[in-house]
Structure 1
Amino acid sequence: MLKKKIAFIGPGVMAEAMIAGLLRQKLADAKNITASGPREERGEELRKKYGIKATTDNASAIHEADVVVLSVKPQRLTEVMKGLKGIRPDALVLSIIAGATIKKISSGLKHKTIVRSMPNTPGQIGEGITVWTASKEVTDEQQEMTRSILGALGEEVFVEDESYLDMATALSGSGPAYVFLFTEALIDAGVHMGFPRRIAEQLVLQTIKGSASYYQGASRHPATLRNQVTSPGGTSAEALYYLEKAGFRTAISRAVWAAYQRSLELGKEKPGHIDTHDEENT
């Protein structure tokens, strides 16, 4: 990996997380990493921070790359692929773009060695999880390279069936947004009762963190753990009654399903409205 040249097309948040992880784990050499995007100042920021190369010319970025990471917004992919015709035949193309199928990328690039993946936000601190799959042309060596690159973000899960990628996009890819919203709601509830916000934040964050760790170590169904803290006629029972009455469980299920449907739509969309912002938030 240290000798492999890696080009990131779209120097956004997740691209930076991958770069930072690769360098932190000494899986890549900074001089072999290039970030390419439309804004010179973003490239300069990454160059100063990590010592990598930066450019606004996608064609030059991919010229000698062993791995090309596609990390642009889904709406920009079709246009960006038009400028990526010089990818080496033996290079690996690794996409982290929501909804973009292997078929779409392969057709747009006229290239067959494709890995499609879906990381999530905690990857920025090495605590993420990425689901990925590969075209049949991806070699065993390239699969190991993929594991190393995605492993820099946290855990990685390989799946044979590409349809799982759209499901992962809705569940784990968008999942942090659901957790943050739930966290925000709990903190606001604490403030509404009268807690200072800083104390409400401390209580909620440690409760969520501790609950997740406890669940991970307990190896029991979450319903069993929930029952342990739900005394008959108690405060938890009262709160859970209102959550169920409000359709809490159904709302979550429908939200994830909506995200899944949107991921499928993104894979079929033709370029229409293109976000005028760059890839910094991808």
Structure 2
Amino acid sequence: MQITFIGGGNMASAIIGGLGNSGEHQIRVVELHADKRQQLQQQFAVQAVAEMPTQFAADEVVVLAVKPQGLRDVCLALAPVLGGALVVSIAAGIRCEAMTRWLGSERIVRVMPNTPAMVGKGVSGLYAAANVGAADRDAATRIMQAVGTTTWLDAESGIDDITSVSGSGPAYVFYFIESMIEGAVQAGFAEDEARRLVLATFDGAVELARQSPLPVATLRQNVMSKGGTTERAIFRFEAEGVKQAIIAGAMDCRARSVEMGLELSRD
């Protein structure tokens, strides 16, 4: 597969790294910054150029990996040379309808990835209109599976839904890890030891949840004994409304995703 990335930032680099391991693809990157081009060439042995190619072929894939605020200009520059190529956009917020206007093409797949893609543990939600064929969907799936797991969404609004869960979800997890590390330091551990203990605790808990057939609520209850230490901590979380705050925050995240989509998808 011939794949051209427009933009060579962190997420593009993660995907390029994952794809490069297979040896099945020809990859080039359009990146304005010379130092970043040099880094991409050295790290991944890909072709990195400063200017948009003069023409794409219909059997190519173009991955839009630029900031949402710059996507309109990139699409308008890409439109005359696109040549019917499949477009895969990982830019947050921008709706397919807007990209279709700018590109003059409906052959578009939207993707919401997340940052654990940088270590091959990403979660990506994908959406394409009904007129995007199975081969194009398969190509987009293969690209994103190079950095983790994928799920196809039935409606474009599903991009907003998955943003509130896996797209922004790593930040929720990091926030909880950060809080636990601070608690461990207050308990008397050195910060490096606190970090090591908390990360190992998360690793173990996630693996147990993955392997166990029990609901996570049951796993949590299994750690608690009546009148014990864990119960005291959970009671404080409940009294402070931690669970409801997390749920409300996720819903605020989704609402902002919808707002950004409307704002950034205007002409």
Match of 1:247 among 241, 244, 262: 241
Distance 1:83 1:44 in 2: 24
Match of 1:24 among 18, 21, 27: 21
Distance 2:31 2:84 in 1: 23
Q: Is the 8 A contact 2:4 2:29 kept in 1?
A: yes
Question: How high is the sequence identity, in percent, across the aligned residues?
Answer: 35
Which residue identity is paired with 1:8? F
Distance 2:5 2:76 in 1: 16
Say yes or no: does 1:71 pair with 2:68.
Answer: no
Bigger relative contact order, structure 1 or 2, given CA contacts below 8 A and separation 6+?
1
Q: State the TM-score, normalized to the length of structure 1.
A: 0.89
Could you list the structure 1 runs, at least 4 aligned residues long, displaced by more than 4 angstroms after superposition. none
Q: State the TM-score, normalized to the length of structure 2.
A: 0.94
Q: CA deviation at 1:78?
A: 1.6
Q: CA deviation at 1:33?
A: 1.2
Q: Provide the secondary structure at the position in 1 that maps to 2:29.
A: strand
Q: Do the aligned partners of residues 87 and 265 (structure 1) sit closer, same or farther apart at CA in structure 2, a change above 3 Å counting?
A: farther
Matches within 5 A, 1:150-165: 150-165=144-159
Instruction: Give the equivalent residue in structure 2 for 1:194.
Output: 188
Instruction: Give the equivalent residue in structure 1 for 2:178.
Output: 184
Q: How many residue pairs align between the two structures?
A: 265
Instruction: Give the equivalent residue in structure 2 for 1:148.
Output: 142
Q: Is the 8 A contact 2:94 2:265 kept in 1?
A: no
Which residue identity is paired with 2:62? V
Which residue identity is paired with 1:23? G
Superposed CA deviations along residues 227-251 of structure 1, whole A, max 9, x for unmatched, are: 1011001011100111111110111
Q: Do the aligned partners of residues 219 and 104 (structure 1) sit closer, same or farther apart at CA in structure 2, a change above 3 Å counting?
A: farther
Q: CA deviation at 1:37?
A: 2.3
CA RMSD of aligned residues (A): 1.7
Matches within 5 A, 1:44-123: 44-60=38-54, 63-64=56-57, 66-123=60-117
Superposed CA deviations along residues 208-266 of structure 1, whole A, max 9, x for unmatched, are: 01101100111221111111011001011100111111110111112111111111111
Which residue identity is paired with 1:165? I
Q: Do the aligned partners of residues 98 and 132 (structure 1) sit closer, same or farther apart at CA in structure 2, a change above 3 Å counting?
A: same
Q: Is the 8 A contact 1:35 1:55 kept in 2?
A: yes
* Structure 2 residue ranges without an equivalent (≥5): none
